[in-house]
Chain A
Amino acid sequence: MKNTFTRYFTLYRSFLSHNLKNEMMYRANFAINVGMDIFFMLVNVFFFKILYGNIDTVGGWTFYQTLILVGSVGVIRELAYLTFRKGFLELGEYVRTGNFDVMLTSPVATSAHLAFRHVSLTDSFGEGLMGLVLVGYGFAHLDAATWISIPFYLLMLFNSLAIYYGFCLLVNGLVFWLVKSQELNTVVYYFMNTARYPREIYHGLGKGLFTFLIPSSLIATTPAAILVGRADSGLVLLSLGVAAGFLTLGLLFWNWSIHFYSSASS
């Protein structure tokens, strides 16, 4: 077991350093990416600023608490780019050209090889940075901020990452039938985009839908709720359960769907 872990870690590290060297070559590109990320995050903040100019709370969340929510989405996005997201963005290309062969034949799980293939520090760097700033700024303005919540916040961030990964596996696994992946990536993009609204706004059918089918209502709300002191054990347990469920289903579906891969031109 320990052996497997070390093996995956070494693999991850070498991919990361390789990609980092590549990214370093395009510094202007990096600057533009960061600028763009910050612009979009600012528009999101501006949206809530205007909203809170008209009202006091949304689903019980104040403006500063919402900033933590918006910031957390940014941080999770950056974490995802650091661990798996870009591989899925490129999956369609691998399948179309037949380069996916390499991943099938390598002595690691395809779901991990694909994820690590293009781990990127800089692609979503602006979002991560801006996210941290927003979380910090919101945290500094909380009435009931406790430092002890920070490790639990981090823990739940990784739990959200697991939900995100499971969701990616489930949606992107369809690529083996569609061969095109752009639309699938759009679906995942919209999924993360709806995560910045608090879970409390949903009720009835919507609540179930955005928990079990499109689990975006848990992604940012659970970690943020811990940091602002609104979380209860029910929410945490639900998030852990959904993460376990999506991860299991995602891996099962993925490992089954790769059987439908038909190689091209090789």
Chain B
Amino acid sequence: MKKYWTVFRVNWQNALQYRGPTFISILGNLLHISVLLYLWNAIYLGEQQLGDYKLSDLITYYILQLMINSMVLSYISWELGEQIAEGTFSNFLVKPLNPLHYWFVLNLSGKLFEGLLVLLVGGILSFILINHVTLPSEGMTMVYFIVSLILAGVLAFEFDFAIGILAFWLVQINSFKYMLQYGMFFMAGALLPLDLFPEAFQRIAHLLPFRFLLYFPIQIFLEKEAQPLEGFITAGVWIIALYLILQFGLKRGIRRYEAVGK
């Protein structure tokens, strides 16, 4: 356990050192969100409505999207894929570390830093828009919300790790990765709430696990989720299944691994 704590601490210091890119990416996302807020506002001013969302629900939806996005979504696959492609991944083979656990801790410390930063941004934003956001009416909602965030964080890491270890089999995957990540982002409800999708797509999105990344936690916060407990169980099953698949995939991948250039 102690070795993973060291990994956590070292990466935390790294994150503090390279805060520029994190800050800019949050800023860029904030820009996009504010444009979307103008969009919803214009739509509601024209006395139109999206599903059963009030304007304040939608504003809350996107502020939460911005925050969860930074706290939860993992981007370690870039570095992981690079290490596999360049051969530096070999370091893991001689260390008493499980790569899956190592990257999980690495991701966690990065997310915690980004999370604190975005909590500040989101806090300021909600404060400005305090009269236009929907807050939960019951205390239990916050407990459910936090549970759903933890599940989302673990799931998001697992998906990203899966994309990362694709590098064992595919050499040039960057563009493919972009598409996978963006597709995931979309099916997680990042651009539009999933219940606004056409009927058939809603059913697909409901079966896929990506909704647990953003849509599910936000629905819980907005108290629109009818079956949170059932969702927790489904997400939990996905997490365990993916964990087993990833361990298996990692073993197979390492067998294929050629340690290029080392």
Residues of B contacting A197 in the complex (Cβ-Cβ under 8 angstroms): 35, 38-39
Contact present for B46 and A57 (CB under 8 Å): yes
Contact present for A183 and B21 (CB under 8 Å): yes
**How many positions in chain B have a CB within 8 Å of any CB in the partner chain?**
33
Convert B46-72 into 0s and 1s, putting 1 for each residue whose CB lies closer than 8 angstroms to a CB of A.
101111000000000000000000000
Residues of B contacting A50 in the complex (Cβ-Cβ under 8 angstroms): 192, 196-198, 201
Residues of A contacting B183 in the complex (Cβ-Cβ under 8 angstroms): 43
- Give the distance in Å from the alpha carbon of A56 to the alpha carbon of B27 in the complex: 31
Within 8 A of B (CB), among A143-195: 180, 182-183, 186-187, 189-190, 193-194
Contact present for A59 and B42 (CB under 8 Å): yes
Residues of B contacting A206 in the complex (Cβ-Cβ under 8 angstroms): 34, 38
Given A202-B38, A202-B42, 11 other A-B residues pairs in contact with their CB atoms under 8 A: A39-B182, A43-B186, A55-B43, A58-B42, A183-B21, A187-B24, A189-B28, A190-B28, A201-B41, A203-B42, A206-B34
Tell me if B98 is interfacial: C-beta within 8 Å of chain A. no
- Give the distance in Å from the alpha carbon of A58 to the alpha carbon of B46 in the complex: 8
Contact present for A55 and B50 (CB under 8 Å): yes
Tell me if A51 is interfacial: C-beta within 8 Å of chain B. yes
Contact present for A36 and B179 (CB under 8 Å): yes
Which secondary structure dominates chain A's binding surface?
A: helix
- Give the distance in Å from the alpha carbon of A200 to the alpha carbon of B175 in the complex: 34
Tell me if A53 is interfacial: C-beta within 8 Å of chain B. yes
**Quick one: closest B residue to A40, CB to CB?**
B182
A interface, how many residues as a size bin?
Answer: 35 or more
- Give the distance in Å from the alpha carbon of A180 to the alpha carbon of B51 in the complex: 44
**Quick one: closest A residue to B44, CB to CB?**
A55
Minimum CB–CB distance for B47 against chain A, Å: 10
Q: A47-B192, A50-B198, A55-B48 are in contact. Are A201 and B42 (CB under 8 A)?
A: yes
- Give the distance in Å from the alpha carbon of A57 to the alpha carbon of B175 in the complex: 34
Minimum CB–CB distance for A120 against chain B, Å: 16
Tell me if B31 is interfacial: C-beta within 8 Å of chain A. yes
Residues of B contacting A203 in the complex (Cβ-Cβ under 8 angstroms): 38, 42
- Give the distance in Å from the alpha carbon of A180 to the alpha carbon of B23 in the complex: 14
Tell me if A33 is interfacial: C-beta within 8 Å of chain B. yes
Minimum CB–CB distance for A169 against chain B, Å: 19
Tell me if B20 is interfacial: C-beta within 8 Å of chain A. yes
Contact present for B175 and A36 (CB under 8 Å): yes
Tell me if A54 is interfacial: C-beta within 8 Å of chain B. yes
Convert A104-137 into 0s and 1s, putting 1 for each residue whose CB lies closer than 8 angstroms to a CB of B.
0000000000000000000000000000000000
Within 8 A of B (CB), among A35-78: 35-36, 39-40, 43, 46-47, 50-51, 53-59
Residues of A contacting B49 in the complex (Cβ-Cβ under 8 angstroms): 54-55
Residues of A contacting B38 in the complex (Cβ-Cβ under 8 angstroms): 197, 201-203, 206
Residues of A contacting B201 in the complex (Cβ-Cβ under 8 angstroms): 50
Which 5 A-B residue pairings sit nearest by Cβ, starting from the closest? A201-B42, A190-B28, A183-B24, A55-B48, A194-B35
Minimum CB–CB distance for B197 against chain A, Å: 6
Minimum CB–CB distance for A216 against chain B, Å: 8
Convert A8-52 into 0s and 1s, putting 1 for each residue whose CB lies closer than 8 angstroms to a CB of B.
000000000000000000000000110110011001001100110
A selection of 18 A-B contacts at a CB cut-off of 8 Å is A40-B179, A40-B182, A50-B192, A50-B198, A55-B48, A55-B49, A57-B48, A59-B46, A180-B20, A183-B24, A187-B24, A187-B27, A197-B38, A200-B42, A201-B38, A203-B38, A206-B34, A206-B38
